[in-house]
Amino acid sequence: MEAVTTERKPIVLSAIQPTSVPTLGNYIGALRNWKLMCEDYDCLYAVADLHALTVHPEPAKLRQQTLEMYALLLSIGLDPEKNTVFIQSMVPAHAELAWILDCYTMFGEASRMTQFKDKSQKHADNVNVGLFAYPILMAADILLYQANFVPVGADQKQHLEICRDIASRFNTLRGNTFTIPEPFIGKVGASIKSLQDPTQKMSKSDPNPKASVSLLDPPEMILKKFKSAVTDSEACVRYADGKDGINNLMTIYSCCTGRDFAAIEAEFAGKGYGDFKVKVAEAVIEELRPVQENYRRLMADKAYLMQTAAQGAEKAARRANKTLFKAKKKVGLLLP
Ligand code: TRP
């Protein structure tokens, strides 16, 4: 039985592409906040498999990675009962609204997206229309659910801007239809750096495997990577300008233990970097242990995963279709 409540929580939507296993940086900077927001917000989280099509992944691999990413979202503690956790392509409304929004997006404004310009340069052999329309599909993801907030990293801020522009234009031309979403920038640990070059962001596409920790790295590998993390020659654990390596390790340690920098400095006063690195690795291993255990359990039960994904899609579709129907009516499409 559903509880009757008059309280409406603000709506949050975010999505992640199923391209590769997220790093510790993605986890601390984004995914962990997704989980923290679940209490105070009405959250919807999606695996953006339609977005992944722009790079032409091998079909069997995309299917597998989509399921893995879905399992990972549940593993970090997103509750499919309390929130809505779904796979984008299982909700047809996304592709449908994207087309309508395509017609309310100017070629010029979409051409200005820096990610489109970067990606077209990097993959000059596959500059497809999907890559161009990518931010408009993302706008559909957000606007379908009347989201108030969208947790995004710096690289997606421009896409959220164009989403707001498209929504405002549509609302002005066709009457109020969409909520204008705000970006939601996390507080702590927003940016975790590479373990090998702490002036750079930790990235899953870094060619040096020691630079990043994946959420599914086994404990011994995590320990090894932290032991070889780049630091400095001062041999003092303190947070200061110019100590990018130590600052990064302190940030990671702080995020995993909840301790602040002063407490960490006190804990390691007079100790060398060797001890500190091992302690950071252990804290990360403990933080990820339940995630990895959940993941193994879930991946061993594909039937459960598929069933949960189907239920998530149904829940999402019920909400998405309300907005879609409204938009279709506003632009003059006949409804059956
Ligand atoms: N484009 C986002 C990324 O690559 C993923 C994404 C798709 C997204 N749809 C979204 C993020 C909607 C926020 C809201 O990171």
DSSP string, 90-140: G-THHHHHHHHHHTTS-HHHHHT-HHHHHHHHHTGGG--HHHHHHHHHHHH
Cβ 174 vs Cβ 165: under 8 Å: no
For residue 7, the model assigns a pLDDT of 72
Query: Closest ligand 1 atom to the C-alpha of 138?
Result: 9
pLDDT at 185: 74
Q: Is 279 a catalytic residue?
A: no
- In the chain, the DSSP E strands lie at 11-16, 42-47, 84-87, 149-151, 182-184
Cα-to-centroid distance, 138 and ligand 1 (Å): 6
pLDDT at 40: 93
pLDDT given for residue 61 in this prediction? 97
Q: What pLDDT sits at residue 204?
A: 84
User: Domains along the chain?
Assistant: 11-189+302-331 (3.40.50.620), 219-296 (1.10.240.10)
Among 12, 14, 158, residue to substitute to test ligand 1 (most atoms within 8 Å of Cβ): 14
In order along its 336 residues, the chain shows pLDDT tens digits of 455 555 789 999 999 999 889 999 999 988 999 999 998 999 999 999 999 999 999 999 999 999 999 999 999 999 999 999 999 999 999 999 999 999 999 999 999 999 999 999 999 999 999 999 999 999 999 999 999 999 988 889 999 999 999 999 999 999 999 999 999 976 544 689 999 999 999 988 888 999 999 999 999 999 999 999 999 999 999 999 999 999 999 999 999 999 999 999 999 999 999 999 999 999 999 999 999 999 999 999 999 999 999 999 999 999 999 999 999 999 999 999
Q: What is the Å distance from ligand 1's center to 257 Cα?
A: 29
Half-sphere exposure of 51 (CA within 13 A, CB side): 19
Distance CA 55, CA 144 (A): 25
Options 9, 61, 117, 119, the catalytic residue: 119
| 155 CA: nearest ligand 1 atom | 15
Q: How many whole angstroms from 279 Cα to the centroid of ligand 1?
A: 34
Dist. CA 223–CA 288, nearest whole Å: 13
Enumerate residues lining ligand 1, CB below 6 A.
Answer: 13-17, 48, 51, 138, 141-142, 150, 152, 156
Task: Give the Å distance between the CA of 40 and the centre of ligand 1.
Answer: 21
Residue 326 annotated as catalytic: no
Catalytic residue status for 227: no
- For residue 151, which atom of ligand 1 is closest to its CA? 13
Q: How far is the CA of 17 from the centre of ligand 1 (A)?
A: 7
- From the number of C-beta atoms within 10 Å of its C-beta (0-12, 13-18, 19+), residue 299 rates as middle
Ligand 1 atom nearest the C-alpha of 137 is: 9
Ligand 1 pocket, mutate which of 11, 13, 16 (most atoms under 8 A from CB): 16
Which atom of ligand 1 is nearest to 135's Cα? 1
Q: What is the DSSP letter of 43?
A: E
Q: Of 17, 51, 94, 69, which is closest to residue 295 (Cα–Cα)?
A: 69
Active-site pick, 9, 35, 204, 210: 204
- Written as six digits, the tokens of 82 are 């309390």
Site to substitute for ligand 1 among 55, 89, 138, 182, most atoms within 8 A of C-beta: 138
Take atom 9 of ligand 1 and give the residue whose Cα is closest: 138
Distance from Cα 150 to the centre of ligand 1, integer Å: 9
d(CA 14, ligand 1 centre) in Å? 6
> How many C-alpha atoms does 180 have within 13 Å on its Cβ side?
12
pTM, rounded to two decimals = 0.94
